[in-house]
Structure 1
Amino acid sequence: MSRSRSDIDKSIWASPATLSLPPVPTRSDTDIAIIGGGFTGLTAALHLAQRGHSVTVLEAGEPGMGASGVNAGFVVPNFAKADPAAVRARLGRQKADRLLRMIGAGAERVFETIRNQGIDCAAEQTGWMHVAHSPDTLPMLAQRVADWNELGRPLKLLSAEEARARTAARHCHGALFDPSGGMLNPLSYARGLSIAAIRAGVTLHGNAPVTARHREGAGWVLSGPGFQVKARLVLLCTNAYRTGVARELGKFTVPLRVYQIATAPLSADEAARLSPARIPFADTRANLFTARLTHDNRLISGGMAVLPFRAQHRLAGRIATRLASEFGLSHTPEIASIWQGTAAITLDFLPHLYNLGPGFWGGIGCNGRGIALTAMLGEVMADLASGVPVDELPVPLAQSKLPLPRLATSLATSATVAQVRWSDWRKGL
């Protein structure tokens, strides 16, 4: 997701706390420059610094100001729209299984980093559920559980009775359960990663948008307002942004605008009724229903609009009404916060590496799985910068560099949202 300063100020994660970062010198040198101070860039920086590299991170605003600060805080170790069978069909068994094992380890890596670095981000590793909204979807979930079990992942298929003991969701006929998943405060996690990276020796600059780049000798010169940074190697970790140098990655994705709401705090009894085990979940509908609790028992849920114009408050009411219906609430919950972001979706719903010039690499494609996936994508990009050959990495190198027309993809997104809503409405969902 990408967004503006005003968007994060509206989110439930908003905090007046900021990091005190040094300004970018007029001219400076570094071994490795990382553009983007979100989960991917900060994770890559942390791992590279721990390996002894000189690393400079250039963030256009504040660390965590992109997708990292406005998602819902779900930590989910799988791909949103690509199950193991689909990944194997696309990449072949050997390459697919490397990629699947990578994303499967993502949630555990997030919580391991939080523990090791002492990050205070309201983290709860309670697991994650993919809820079957109808009996017809149980065989699909059963196959996914079997495929992940084959890869060594301890997933379990819950019966309807077992799943309903963990959630009060009305449409619940069983669930896939992954014990490694969970939830956290994403902005606090991003700031914690920033502190850990600085502690490891990373130079981190905020308010440093990179607007241009050019080749000089064996390296690159990155330019922004009043500064130039020369680097031997550059990692572009800007995901959905389409301004300045970031456009070189953003143009390969389909923008998907997502709206989130947080309710006023629920009573402890009501929170326990709705989510006894405090497990975040999504269901199997095309127009999926998602929900989680925060540390102070607010409900968070999200949705997408057919038409994005003036949609924020209109869709917020729809999401709140849906929460009341799905959880059997006596009244529509009070909305305490509304915010939005734009997720970067790739055409095959998988992450990719891009070679954008000698020693200039980009990584993109979270597809709605930004926290767990970026924990691993950051490591992969650190491996790449450390000299691991690209064909030995679990994330595939992109084969096409044709940009996706922004207007066409936006229209296609709106049409898709309309279609899935219509499909669910016809089924009485």
Structure 2
Amino acid sequence: MPSPAKDTLWTRTARLPAETDGTPPQSVDVAVIGGGFTGLTAARELLIAGRSVAVLEAGQIGAGASGMNAGFVVPNFAKADPNAVRAKLGEQGGNALLRLVGDGANAVFRTIAEDGIDCDARQVGWLNPAFGAASAEMLRARAALWRDLGRPVTFLDADETRQQTGMDIYSGALLDAEGGTIHPLDYLRGLVQSVRRRGGTVHEGQSVDKVTRDGSGWRLTTRSGATLIAKKVLQCTNAFTMGIAARMGRSTVPLRVYQIATSPADADTVRRIAPEGRPVGDTRQNLFTYRLDRDNRLISGGMAAIPFGAFDRLGRTVAERLSSELGLPQAVTPEVVWTGVAAMTPDFLPRLYQMDDGWFGGIGCNGRGIAMTAQLGRVLARAAQGEDPDQLPIPLRPLRPLPFHRFTPIVASAALIQARLKDRFAR
């Protein structure tokens, strides 16, 4: 049986029930390994296309990154601007990926509207404030590049940014009008309902330990002893490195992120720091983020340079940073703290892998988990339907686990310490 749900803001405030299926069917057109945003979006697309689908989730729906994030819906890259993407993939390939990623938020909110998912969806825009003059010029140029692609991205000056955040430390901000926020667990459970309503099945506690050839298809064997025959397999296991997920998970750098939610902010504070209700994530190396939930709780997060005792320590540290950065009238304390793992690729771009004929995997949302997974799931569904992988907007890459993967958390800790030092001189 899957382990009990972790205590998060989302498990405390979810409105949609967690409903899944029992024993997996004997055979389907496509087996999807992983019941997060990517896997469930892919399953939904395949069912719309008339394929039979079963989703096999190792744990409980929402126990991975899809249920542990902060609910930001951001349709761009965390660390790459359009020119960098074109330089990496070429003009044609770069533009194809840029169009895909740029429509990521709209794709999420379209799905929510089409399926009537009650998940506190608010497409009010996303604000990316610039810390320092150099960052402001970088964001001004980045906004222009996105506008050239037809996207509603603008640059706000320092005064406009102060009006949007109540903070006077920023030199400007990029405003992406298509971003927003959701309740991620309700969205995830809504995707489960969507898949089941269309005739697919979703199974918890089905860790896939083995995928072997069975004629022209594949036989999936789970730790519980269940077997399933599928013509195609989609692997959507994100940063997990157990069982069948090991090879793909080890191709990324895992970053453990800690999130907190405070008690609700007062009305004056809400009007000062988020007059339009927009989520915020700045440009600092040790970035500062915040958003409000439906009850005006402040949600923020951070990472720990030293992992020992980080859960309790980071909760206090993030709360103190919220109070200090936002100039709150009184110090806030965490109402709840939770943690999850994000998967980062070396070049900060998403990856599409082909493990074998008819067996595809996708990974690498790089801190843009909700919007990026929506598009990653759609691309995987296209691959499962036989579309030429070389024509897909996410390029097919050889699957190569990172050398010394077990030491990547140490490298990440060192990078975080260096980032904090850089921030001191960036303003």
What's the CA shift for 1:170? 3.8
The match for 2:211 among 195, 213, 220 is: 213
Does residue 1:310 correspond to 2:340, yes or no?
Answer: no
What's the CA shift for 1:244? 1.2
| Overall identity of the aligned pairs, in % | 49
CA distance in 2, matches of 1:20, 1:275: 35
Q: Which runs of 5+ in 2 are unaligned?
A: none
CA distance in 1, matches of 2:160, 2:201: 49
Query: What letter matches 2:59 in structure 1?
Result: G
For each residue in 1:381-425, what CA deviation from the matched residue of structure 2 results, as whole angstroms up to 9, or x when unmatched? 111111110011000111352444222211111110111112223
Q: Map of 1:103-182 to 2, 5 A cutoff?
A: 103-182=101-180
Q: What is the match of residue 9 of structure 2?
A: 12
Q: Map of 1:339-350 to 2, 5 A cutoff?
A: 339-350=338-349
For the Cα contact (< 8 Å) 2:74–2:371, is it kept in 1?
Answer: yes
For the Cα contact (< 8 Å) 1:352–1:397, is it kept in 2?
Answer: yes
CA distance in 2, matches of 1:326, 1:403: 37
For the Cα contact (< 8 Å) 2:252–2:401, is it kept in 1?
Answer: no
What's the CA shift for 1:285? 0.8
Q: Map of 1:9-408 to 2, 5 A cutoff?
A: 9-15=6-12, 18-25=17-24, 28-224=26-222, 225-408=224-407
SS for the counterpart of 2:208 is coil
SS for the counterpart of 2:88 is helix
For each residue in 1:207-251, what CA deviation from the matched residue of structure 2 results, as whole angstroms up to 9, or x when unmatched? 111111111211111111120011110000010111111113101
CA distance in 1, matches of 2:395, 2:290: 32
What's the CA shift for 1:180? 0.4
CA distance in 2, matches of 1:426, 1:142: 21
CA distance in 2, matches of 1:196, 1:304: 34
CA distance in 1, matches of 2:289, 2:96: 28
For normalisation by structure 1, the TM-score amounts to: 0.95
CA distance in 1, matches of 2:290, 2:392: 34
SS for the counterpart of 1:10 is coil
SS for the counterpart of 1:21 is coil
For the Cα contact (< 8 Å) 2:20–2:192, is it kept in 1?
Answer: no
The structure-2 alpha-carbon separation of the partners of 1:203 and 1:400, relative to structure 1 and needing over 3 Å to count, comes to closer
RMSD after superposition: 1.6
CA distance in 2, matches of 1:282, 1:69: 20
For each residue in 1:132-189, what CA deviation from the matched residue of structure 2 results, as whole angstroms up to 9, or x when unmatched? 1222211100110111111111111111122222111342221110110000110110
CA distance in 1, matches of 2:367, 2:160: 27
CA distance in 1, matches of 2:6, 2:331: 24
For the Cα contact (< 8 Å) 1:21–1:204, is it kept in 2?
Answer: yes
Q: Which moved more, 1:27-36 or 1:395-404?
A: 395-404
The structure-2 alpha-carbon separation of the partners of 1:413 and 1:5, relative to structure 1 and needing over 3 Å to count, comes to farther
Aligned pair count reads 423
CA distance in 1, matches of 2:20, 2:190: 14
Query: What letter matches 2:283 in structure 1?
Result: T
For each residue in 1:281-325, what CA deviation from the matched residue of structure 2 results, as whole angstroms up to 9, or x when unmatched? 111111111110111001111111111122011111111111111
For the Cα contact (< 8 Å) 1:306–1:414, is it kept in 2?
Answer: yes
Query: What letter matches 1:248 in structure 2?
Result: R
Runs of 4+ aligned structure 1 residues displaced above 6 Å come to none
SS for the counterpart of 1:37 is coil
Query: What letter matches 1:321 in structure 2?
Result: E
For the Cα contact (< 8 Å) 2:117–2:190, is it kept in 1?
Answer: yes
For the Cα contact (< 8 Å) 1:39–1:64, is it kept in 2?
Answer: no
For the Cα contact (< 8 Å) 2:164–2:272, is it kept in 1?
Answer: no
For the Cα contact (< 8 Å) 1:242–1:251, is it kept in 2?
Answer: yes
For the Cα contact (< 8 Å) 2:118–2:190, is it kept in 1?
Answer: yes
What's the CA shift for 1:426? 4.9
CA distance in 2, matches of 1:418, 1:44: 38
Query: What letter matches 2:95 in structure 1?
Result: D
For the Cα contact (< 8 Å) 1:39–1:190, is it kept in 2?
Answer: yes
For normalisation by structure 2, the TM-score amounts to: 0.96
For each residue in 1:80-119, what CA deviation from the matched residue of structure 2 results, as whole angstroms up to 9, or x when unmatched? 1111111111111110110011010000111111111100
Q: Which moved more, 1:186-195 or 1:156-165?
A: 156-165
Q: Which moved more, 1:388-397 or 1:416-425?
A: 416-425
CA distance in 2, matches of 1:46, 1:289: 34
Q: Which moved more, 1:385-394 or 1:416-425?
A: 416-425
CA distance in 2, matches of 1:52, 1:125: 30
CA distance in 1, matches of 2:168, 2:118: 33
For each residue in 1:343-363, what CA deviation from the matched residue of structure 2 results, as whole angstroms up to 9, or x when unmatched? 111111110111111111100
For each residue in 1:241-290, what CA deviation from the matched residue of structure 2 results, as whole angstroms up to 9, or x when unmatched? 11111113101111111111110111222212221111101111111111
What's the CA shift for 1:18? 4.5
SS for the counterpart of 1:230 is strand
Q: Which runs of 5+ in 1 are unaligned?
A: none
CA distance in 2, matches of 1:290, 1:169: 13
